[in-house]
Amino acid sequence: MSIFCLLWVPLFFLLRRTFIGGGSGGVWALLLGSITALLQFFLGYWLSPGGFGFSRWLFGFVEIVSLPVLVPLILYALLYFLRGLSGSADFANFALLWLIPVAALRAIGWGPTNDVILLISVPLLWTALAVGIPFFINWTANNFRWYTVTISVLCIMILPVSAATAYWAFFSQQTALGFLMLFVTSVPFALSMTFDVLHA
């Protein structure tokens, strides 16, 4: 399972790149992702996970699932719109590259636990967010209407919540809810990959 956590993100990144190529900011993504991963690896978690309640869900959101993907997406938006990057925008490419060193160090840290939630479910949720959120950003950019903006903003807000809820549900042994939230989180990811393959 540690091998899955280690290899899933880079292998998926390479697969995706064969269909749509790469965007700008790859070096920055790997560099900043490596620094972030090293800091968290040596400093540990900022939040205490608690038991099975809201503190566990918040821990999953901030430390495990959602924030590790939101940070590179937000940073990429700032770099791109402030003209710090050139070339075509590819939020997913930047986030996936950022997550490669994060996944590697998490695989080392989580490996001894042999926890299927951390080593299998979390990497899947990372890629679902890293590709799913940019799907709505691109949809809005290409079809700028009031309804596309409204739907996209709502979905972008829902996806990190559903991902953290999936982690919390699996941890709380609410397997049905966990798979439901995993499915909800993965729908935009599946749509994005389908359109990319068809377009290629």
Pairwise CA distance, residues 17 & 197, whole Å: 11
Mean pLDDT of successive 10-residue stretches along the chain, which has 200 residues: 90 85 73 90 82 88 94 88 67 93 92 89 96 91 82 94 96 94 95 81
User: In 3-state terms, the chain is what percent helix, strand and coil (to 5)?
Assistant: 80, 0, 20
Dihedral of the alpha carbons of 9, 15, 16, 17, in degrees to the nearest 10: 110
Q: Alpha-carbon distance 184 to 51, whole Å?
A: 25
**Residue type (1 letter), 34:** S
pTM score, two decimals? 0.92
Cα-based angle 33, 107, 91 (whole degrees, multiple of 5)? 35
**Cα–Cα distance between 92 and 63 in angstroms, integer?**
20
Please report the pLDDT score of residue 88 as a whole number.
67
Q: Cα separation of 189 and 43, whole Å?
A: 32
Q: Classify residue 111 as exposed, middle or buried by CB count within 10 Å of its CB (0-12, 13-18, 19+).
A: middle
pLDDT at residue 86, rounded to an integer: 59
pLDDT of residue 44: 81
pLDDT for the residue numbered 25: 64
